[in-house]
Amino acid sequence: MSGVESSRLPREHDLEIIKQQLGRTPRDVHAVAHRCPCGEVDVVETPPRLSDGSPFPTFFYATCPRLTGAISTLESSGLMAEMNDRLATDPKLQGEYYAAHVDYMAAREALGMDVPEVHGISAGGMPERVKCLHSLIAHSLAAGEGVNLLGDEALAKLPIWWNENPCAQLVTDERENN
């Protein structure tokens, strides 16, 4: 296993942070897909089939409550409707969004798990529409800038979610309160 691959494996500390972020024990975390600037996990990779046998198409999953809260606020702003209007009339954007859809599925399929229930399915409405900024932003954070342009656009509109009371403080606060 290369150093890059092993650095993506969730450590015990990461799993504790994710548990605090989600308010429950995380299910089947395959890898850390992105760390926020505070240094803690904010996006994980989840295999396409959970250990209980359920298919799970959402490969990139945002865990940080501050990030997901900021995304929810952005979703309520009307940005998705505006993106859908542009997507319906811009062939270049359609092609870029389709490429993001293909990248998402390829990343998930790289795990080598054959899950027929999720073949051809990515997340967030790709490739035809925008229906979940959480998925698009998680993909942008995990894949890097330039892969999911609508995710990048939405990410650029977010406030600095990590600055106040970073996720590492969640575990510290929990320990102090117990």
- pLDDT tens for each residue of 88-143: 999 999 999 999 999 999 999 999 999 999 999 999 999 999 999 999 999 999 99
Distance of alpha carbon 95 from its chain centroid, rounded? 21
Banded pLDDT at 1 (limits 50, 70, 90):
very low
Q: Which tokens sit at 173?
A: 């606060």
pLDDT over 70 (residue 168)? no
Tell me the residue type at 7: S
Residue 39: per-residue pLDDT: 86
Tell me the residue type at 140: S
- Residue 156's closest CA among 146, 171, 165? 146
DSSP-derived letter for residue 125 is T
Q: Strand 31-35: give its sheet, edge to edge.
A: 31-35, 41-45, 60-62
Residue 3: per-residue pLDDT: 42
Backbone φ, ψ for residue 70 (5° rounding): -65, -40
With contact defined as beta carbons under 8 Å apart, do 145 and 14 qualify? Answer: no
Alpha carbons 93 and 149: distance in angstroms, whole number: 8
Residues 6+ apart with CB under 8 A from 83: 130, 150, 153, 154
Q: How crowded is residue 162: how many other Cβ atoms within 10 Å of its Cβ?
A: 19
With contact defined as beta carbons under 8 Å apart, do 41 and 167 qualify? Answer: yes
Q: What is the pTM of this model?
A: 0.89
Alpha carbons 160 and 148: distance in angstroms, whole number: 20
| pLDDT, mean of residues 148-153 | 98
DSSP-derived letter for residue 117 is G
Residue 172: per-residue pLDDT: 52
- pLDDT tens for each residue of 28-81: 999 999 998 888 999 999 999 999 999 999 999 999 999 999 999 999 999 999
Banded pLDDT at 176 (limits 50, 70, 90):
low
Angle among Cα 69, 30, 155 to the nearest 5 degrees reads 30
Residue 4: per-residue pLDDT: 44
